[in-house]
């Protein structure tokens, strides 16, 4: 068995880890990211100072399945100035003020001419909306509704100092080798500008998880994939088509820093081992949670779970995208994500990985009636959990270890946490009462 990652994590200062993740989110927050350009490069470089990251470049114009890598977008400045020379909307004050991927513009426009290019939220008059125009060349500004209402008849000087030129799309990969070449994929989008929950929460939790796993004795290899949403995942799949089936379990990680309870969206397969591992981890995490069925709308699980790949990739969120009012607005800021929520999201991911790392089939070596635990000194506590839980877990493992029930099956059926079942199996193995069953692993059966 692999050493418990959860025990390693619980030996660390979780509160401190949460603060560290939040501070890292604060460092990344001001950067104007997009699906290409300097912002995403800078973000990957900063993550690369913490974990070993390989950055790939895909040139503009490259065909990736039905899509084409777009021109690279970079922006230096953008503003709307009134006739007194005052910047009434200023990209330098908030990068959400410009429609992401706006083409360069220099013009003087009346308010009427300007208005079709302005976006605001009447329901939340202090918030700036987040808008993009990746695949149709356009330009625009986003502003609070209060700012919008304050605009008077005037001649406005409009400037978007951006460039849309042949370049590259970039994405980052952190590969942590395990004993097997079979992989656990953790995928995060890295293309949103100053948005904290939708983007930075997943990135900071994934970075901390990669730091925790690096150098450990692991069953699976882990691949942390930091990609621009949609086009990045499609580009990665196009370039790794032949080896994508190494992904045995996968997770899209996003929106994991807000105060909401957990939501795990199942993979397209619906009964993949990763789906069951997360459902189990959620059941025992002590927080409100809900497991959602797969749907073909959402984050990059849409690509991983497309029928040509059908990879077992689920999606973990706290509040579900699009359901909280702060979603895709300036209110999804650093105050909307919390150190405690980040650290507990990390802990949940680690506990699900612990299940995957240690889920195996065993054979009871003494199947005719219960073995006498007392004479082996196994009818007492080792001091970890309560004695009832420990002994109960040993009895469940012995009873169901017939080669047909995995440890996850036993945890599900007994209602006991996988950690207790895993500890019991380890102890019984050490005492010669269990042996590993040679059989096809659970995830391979599903193909």
Contact residues toward Zn ion (CB under 5 A) are: 198
Distance of closest approach, residue 171 Cβ to Zn ion, in angstroms: 17
The single residue listed with the structure tokens 């293309």 is: 191
Residue 57, classed as helix, strand or coil, is strand
* Cβ atoms of residues 119 and 141 within 8 Å: yes
Distance of closest approach, residue 302 Cβ to Zn ion, in angstroms: 13
* Cβ atoms of residues 194 and 330 within 8 Å: yes
Distance of closest approach, residue 198 Cβ to Zn ion, in angstroms: 4
Distance of closest approach, residue 195 Cβ to Zn ion, in angstroms: 7
Cβ proximity to Zn ion: between 142 and 416 the closer is 142
Q: Which helix (H) or strand (E) holds 394?
A: helix 387-400
* Cβ atoms of residues 213 and 92 within 8 Å: no
Cβ proximity to Zn ion: between 100 and 341 the closer is 100
Nearest to 247 by CA among 280, 227, 271, 272: 272
Distance of closest approach, residue 343 Cβ to Zn ion, in angstroms: 23
Cβ proximity to Zn ion: between 140 and 422 the closer is 140
**Phi-psi region for residue 178, left (φ > 0), alpha (ψ -120 to 50) or beta?**
beta
3-state secondary structure 405-419: EEHHHHHHHHCCCHH
Q: Which segments of 384-444 are extended strands (E)? A: 402-406, 434-436
Distance of closest approach, residue 129 Cβ to Zn ion, in angstroms: 12
Distance of closest approach, residue 263 Cβ to Zn ion, in angstroms: 15
Cβ proximity to Zn ion: between 198 and 442 the closer is 198
Cβ proximity to Zn ion: between 198 and 423 the closer is 198
The residues, ordered by sequence, that sit 6+ positions from 418 with a Cβ below 8 Å of its Cβ are: 280, 281, 284, 351, 354, 355, 358, 359, 407, 408, 411
Nearest to 64 by CA among 253, 269, 268, 228: 228
Tokens of 355: 């299940």
Cβ proximity to Zn ion: between 173 and 198 the closer is 198
Instruction: For residue 152, give the DSSP letter.
Output: P
Cβ proximity to Zn ion: between 188 and 425 the closer is 188
**Phi-psi region for residue 172, left (φ > 0), alpha (ψ -120 to 50) or beta?**
beta
Distance of closest approach, residue 328 Cβ to Zn ion, in angstroms: 6
* Cβ atoms of residues 175 and 53 within 8 Å: no
Cβ proximity to Zn ion: between 127 and 396 the closer is 127
Taking the C-alpha atoms of residue 56 and residue 250, their distance in angstroms, rounded to an integer, is 20
Distance of closest approach, residue 32 Cβ to Zn ion, in angstroms: 15
Nearest to 207 by CA among 35, 386, 43, 373: 43
* Cβ atoms of residues 96 and 130 within 8 Å: yes
Distance of closest approach, residue 124 Cβ to Zn ion, in angstroms: 17
Cβ proximity to Zn ion: between 130 and 141 the closer is 130
Cβ proximity to Zn ion: between 183 and 198 the closer is 198
Strand partners, 253: 316
């Amino acid at each position: 068995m692999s050493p418990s990652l959860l025990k390693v994590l619980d030996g660390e200062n979780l509160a401190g880890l949460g603060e560290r993740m939040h501070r890292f989110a604060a460092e990344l927050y001001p950067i104007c990211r997009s699906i290409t350009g300097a912002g995403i490069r800078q973000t990957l470089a900063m993550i690369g100072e913490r974990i070993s990251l390989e950055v790939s470049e895909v040139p503009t114009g490259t065909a990736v399945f039905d899509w084409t890598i777009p021109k690279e977008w970079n922006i230096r400045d953008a503003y709307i100035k009134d006739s007194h020379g005052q910047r009434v909307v200023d990209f330098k004050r908030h990068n959400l003020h410009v429609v992401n991927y706006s083409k360069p513009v220099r013009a003087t426009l009346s308010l009427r001419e300007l208005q079709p290019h302005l976006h605001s939220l009447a329901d939340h008059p202090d918030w700036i909306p987040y808008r993009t125009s990746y695949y149709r060349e356009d330009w625009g500004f986003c502003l609070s509704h209060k700012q919008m209402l304050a605009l008077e008849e005037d001649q406005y000087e409009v400037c978007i100092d951006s460039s849309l030129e042949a370049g590259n799309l970039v994405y980052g990969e952190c590969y942590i080798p395990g004993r097997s070449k079979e992989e656990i994929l953790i995928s995060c989008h890295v293309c949103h500008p100053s948005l904290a929950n939708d983007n930075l929460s997943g990135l900071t939790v994934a970075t901390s998880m990669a730091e925790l796993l690096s150098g450990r004795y692991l069953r699976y290899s882990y691949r942390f994939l930091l990609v621009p949403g949609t086009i990045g995942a499609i580009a990665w799949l196009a370039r790794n088509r032949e080896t994508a089936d190494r992904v045995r379990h996968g997770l899209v990680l996003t929106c994991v820093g807000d105060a909401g309870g957990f939501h795990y969206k199942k993979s397209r397969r619906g009964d993949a081992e990763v789906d069951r591992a997360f459902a189990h981890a959620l059941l025992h995490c002590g927080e409100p949670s809900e497991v959602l069925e797969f749907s073909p709308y959402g984050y990059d699980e849409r690509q991983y779970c497309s029928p040509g790949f059908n990879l077992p990739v689920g999606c973990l969120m706290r509040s579900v995208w699009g359901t909280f009012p702060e979603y895709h607005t300036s209110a999804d800021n650093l105050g909307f994500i919390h150190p405690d929520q980040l650290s507990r999201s990390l802990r949940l991911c680690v506990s699900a990985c612990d299940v995957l790392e240690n889920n195996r089939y065993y054979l009871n070596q003494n199947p005719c009636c219960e073995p006498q635990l007392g004479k082996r000194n196994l009818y007492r506590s080792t001091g970890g959990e309560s004695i009832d839980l420990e002994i109960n877990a040993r009895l469940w493992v012995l009873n169901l270890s017939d080669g047909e029930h995995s440890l996850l099956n036993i945890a599900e059926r007994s209602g006991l946490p996988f950690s207790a079942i895993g500890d019991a199996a380890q102890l019984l193995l050490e005492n010669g009462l269990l042996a590993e069953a040679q059989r096809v692993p659970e995830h391979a059966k599903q193909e």
